[in-house]
């Protein structure tokens, strides 16, 4: 992790980004696109050699650190060093994470803990670590990569959804805390997308009890390739980058027709249920 040379010329319009999980998927695509357009990127990966080709092409504009986001102390050290070396970081992208599939009772304790440590606690600790730096420099933008699964749910992804609903609630609260400091958040909610998500999906050992249930149906759809995945990751990356150029940060970015349909349906159903309970809800306060 070499410090950016003081002779490195940065255009006034150039931004500096900090991105976790850059070895593949959205993280890798973002890094490639940003470097190609002239921005600087601080990229974290589990194995730095995964970015050797980009380092060779872009030199000092790519700062690389090895980071396991489940190590909270390492997260803080890496963030501190990145701001020290780069001087200012305009955009933080909390992207590191993976999926876990299986009925809730099929999942192992270690699988549950590691998923929560990575997707939820890792994202929380990253955001907590960058806030003092962003306050000190007068603001910045944080993009939290979530999922359509932060507002709806598939069977078999209970723990994955727990992490995504959890991080969205965290961001909704923290956004209000730090708005006075010029720090803005955008939650990114892609639907099924052609990345390496499926390849990195961890699955629990299946049990016969769930063979003929929605969990079994979805498991077979994955195996047979009948689960439709139409999302274009490159278009989504372009939209993420473009959102940072907007004066007002969008609270959410919903990507893909499937995500729009599933979130729309989930929100409408929840609102209808709420309205159906309106009279009962309003009657629960003290009469005086």
Question: Is position 164 annotated as part of the catalytic site?
Answer: yes
Q: Are 192 and 226 in contact (CB under 8 A)?
A: no
Chain centre to alpha carbon of residue 229: 19
Question: Is position 98 annotated as part of the catalytic site?
Answer: no
Catalytic choice (23, 94, 123, 160): 160
Catalytic choice (147, 164, 210, 262): 164
State how beta strands 183-190 and 91-94 pair: unpaired
Question: Is position 160 annotated as part of the catalytic site?
Answer: yes
Q: Are 45 and 66 in contact (CB under 8 A)?
A: yes
Catalytic choice (23, 146, 147, 158): 146
**Range 239-275 burial, b when 16+ CB lie within 10 A, else e:** ebbebbeeeebeebbbbbebbeebbeeeeeeeeeeee
254: β partners = 189
Contacts 24+ apart (CB under 8 A), 53-61: 60/2, 60/4, 60/5, 60/8, 61/8, 61/35
- Residues with catalytic annotation? 146, 160, 164
């Amino acid at each position: 992790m070499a410090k950016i040379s003081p002779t490195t010329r940065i255009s006034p319009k150039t931004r500096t980004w900090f991105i976790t999980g850059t070895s593949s998927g959205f993280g890798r695509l973002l890094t490639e696109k940003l470097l190609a357009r002239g921005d600087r990127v601080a990229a974290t990966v589990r194995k730095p050699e995964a970015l050797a080709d980009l380092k060779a092409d872009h030199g000092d504009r790519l700062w690389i650190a090895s980071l396991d986001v489940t190590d909270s102390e390492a997260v803080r050290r890496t963030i501190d060093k990145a701001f020290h070396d780069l001087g200012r970081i305009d955009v933080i992208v909390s992207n590191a994470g993976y999926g876990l599939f299986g009925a809730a009772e099929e999942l192992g304790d270690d699988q549950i803990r590691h998923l929560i440590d990575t997707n939820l606690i890792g994202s929380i600790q990253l955001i907590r670590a960058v806030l003092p730096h962003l306050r000190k420099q007068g603001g910045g933008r944080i993009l939290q990569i979530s999922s359509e699964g932060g507002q709806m749910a598939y069977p078999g992804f209970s723990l994955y959804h727990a992490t995504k609903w959890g991080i969205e609630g965290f961001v909704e609260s923290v956004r209000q805390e730090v708005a006075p400091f010029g720090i803005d958040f955008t939650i990114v909610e892609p639907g099924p997308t052609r990345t390496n998500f499926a390849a990195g999906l961890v699955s629990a050992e299946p049990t016969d009890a769930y063979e003929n249930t929605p969990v079994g149906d979805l498991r077979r759809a994955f195996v047979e390739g009948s689960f439709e995945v139409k999302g274009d990751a490159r278009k989504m990356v372009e939209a993420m980058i473009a959102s940072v150029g907007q004066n007002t940060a969008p609270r959410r970015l919903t990507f893909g027709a499937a995500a729009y349909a599933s979130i729309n349906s989930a929100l409408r159903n929840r609102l209808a249920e709420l309205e159906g309970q309106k009279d009962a809800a309003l009657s629960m306060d003290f009469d005086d």
